[in-house]
Amino acid sequence: MSVGKLNDEFINFLRELKQKNDIVEVIGNYVALDRKGGNYWACCPFHHERTPSFAVNEGEQYYHCFGCQESGDVIKFVQEIESTDFMGAVQILAARAKMTVPENGYDSEEAAKRKKKRDTMVQIMRDTARFYLNNLYSGDARADKYLQYIQNRSLAPTTVKKFGLGASLDYTSLPKFLTTKGYSKEDAIACGVLSADDKGRVFDSLGERLIFPIINAMDEVVGFGGRTLDKTKFAKYKNTKETMLFDKSKTLYNINLLKKLKREQTVKEIIFVEGYMDTITLYQAGFKNVVATMGTSLTKEQARLAKRYTDNILISYDGDFAGQNADLRGLEILKEAGLNVRVVPMPDGLDPDDVAKQGAEEYQKCLDQAMPVIDYRIHALEKKYDIKKTEEKRQFVSEALKVVRSGESADVREELLKYIAKISGTAFHVLERDLNNIKQEVLSVPQEGPKERITEISSEVDKTQKAKRFVLAAKLFSAPYAQSVDLSDFLWKDETHIVVANYIMDHEKSGERLHPSELFVLLENNAEIGAILDFNNGDKLTGPIAEQFFNDSIRTMQSEAIEEEIEQLKATNAQCTEKSEIMELAKKINECVRRRNALKKS
């Protein structure tokens, strides 16, 4: 956990909490579980799928999805499904079991201070949001222009209230308000709502702007966006800075209302837009499955967050989006996350909210024309080049063929070639020939040098990583062939591996039974724990093949330790000046090489 080290009293409390909250019963309240073999199975609640790959291990009290690799204990499940933090999940389960949560669960004073600081920041953000909202309807003449802007954008009062829009009327009122509430200027600055000049004077970071509260999935205000109505003075939009609460790359605007929508109905797809007004206008028009990236390039964290709600994404950016190659490349992040991505073509120069204001039917027409990313890349090239001009047509065909080359199937490539032939007037067989030539050029690139070396290194890292996971899994689930192996003999670099190895060794010393689900209290790296738990599926840890792989894995780890020793000896040797010491190091290096070669022969 990032908040600090849990003390013994709290760990004992957590054990009792989990005993009183059987994981099958708790998860069964959220998804329909079907018992098959030794596990319970369901379609994963964290990503959409047709074939169940989400397994709940009743005996060891943990879950694991073999599709998205999500893993955890009952606390982690509630944390994820309710979009809350660790302590929020503990509170939910404690209420269910009618238990009282200890007030201080952490040994570290620093951890307690960090939690207290976060709680204070949440309060400051909530009170600031209320302050801005009250400003908007205060009757102050300075608020009139913001109310007029809202009216001009055709936003209903219910919509304004739902999104908590507000107004900053000046630079000094907010600092005074927060002071009267008892907050320190240091805490307010840490939240990002106040800033200080070089003389230490504080002021409203979003002074004289229309305010958009940014709310996370736990319904906490974590940041603010501000829009100026004075085009001569400022940048149009400005966000509060990133803080303990707010990381724009891990946040989606309107995720709180999307979560509520998911509770009411199945979210078949999510519409991604760029900004606040696009989101609000579309929501008001009836498209409630909309979120905004707030102007940032798409990130892996945002992709993972979206995948909790659906597998289908519609990208609906501005009308000139087709020419923004960097953003087009960013869509690959969504595809890599296993999401089905389509891009919505918009009329030139129009934003989604411009179209939505013409009526929901008009925007729905745009959605109906959504196309796969690869088709949209061709569409973008059409906008980039004037194919009526010979030179630009050649450039279009050349770049379009490179796009076609990335097609995932022969059918897709053929369909795209036919389209390019149609709009460019180039014969299909000529395009097909040129496409094949491109492929041959790619294949003829020499497979030597640095690229080959990188591949080799990557392969070795993957092999060693898999070996360590298998050995830890075999020890964790008490495979008979693993009992005599001492984990302290090996080199553990990965933080998760270190914690798991120490957990196993501590229990071996005390003679206590291993409980794999306890690891989720000790660690945050859910993905790496999941990769270890993967080996407990089916008969991967049993039988002669598993034992052979275990022995091979031990040799792989021994080889890694020897390589590390050789590198350290070489580094020491490079700094030596004494001949006798150099000779002694050379002997040790040769002995390591001999051991390494013997391992390879075995």
| pLDDT, tens digit, 9 for 90 and up, residues 183-235 | 999 999 999 999 998 788 899 999 999 999 999 987 899 999 999 998 766 67
- Please state, in angstroms and rounded to a whole number, the distance separating the CA atoms of residues 602 and 598: 6
C-beta separation of 36 from 28 below 8 A: no
Nearest to 541 by CA among 469, 473, 463, 464: 473
**Structural element, H or E, at residue 203:** strand 202-204
What are the structural domains of the chain?
8-97 (3.90.580.10), 109-246 (3.90.980.10), 460-601 (1.10.860)
> How high is the pLDDT of residue 208?
93
User: What pLDDT was estimated at residue 439?
Assistant: 57
Specify whether the CB–CB gap between 273 and 354 falls below 8 A.
Answer: no
Question: Any residues with CB less than 8 A from the CB of 579 and at least 6 apart, and which?
Answer: none
* pLDDT score for 421: 92
- What pTM did the predictor assign? 0.64
- What is the model's pLDDT at position 330? 66
- How is residue 482 annotated by DSSP? G
CA distance 445 to 112: 57
CA distance 363 to 353: 9
Which residues, 6 or more positions from 22, have their beta carbon under 8 angstroms from its beta carbon? Answer: 58, 61, 74
Which residue, 602, 526, 597, 596, is CA-closest to 561? 596
Predicted local distance difference test score (pLDDT) of residue 313: 94
What's the CA gap between 31 and 41, in Å, rounded?
Answer: 10
Which amino acid appears at position 441 of this protein?
Answer: E
pLDDT score at 526: 59
- The helix, strand and coil proportions of the chain, stated in percent and rounded to the nearest 5, come to 55, 10, 35
Residues of the chain with pLDDT under 70: 1-8, 48, 83, 103-112, 232-234, 295-296, 319-330, 439-461, 524-527, 538, 602
Tokens of 219: 């319904």
Place of tokens 């200027």: 185
Q: What is the pLDDT of residue 490?
A: 85
- In the chain the first and final C-alpha atoms are separated, in Å, by 41
Helix pair 390-405, 373-384: axis angle to 10 deg: 170
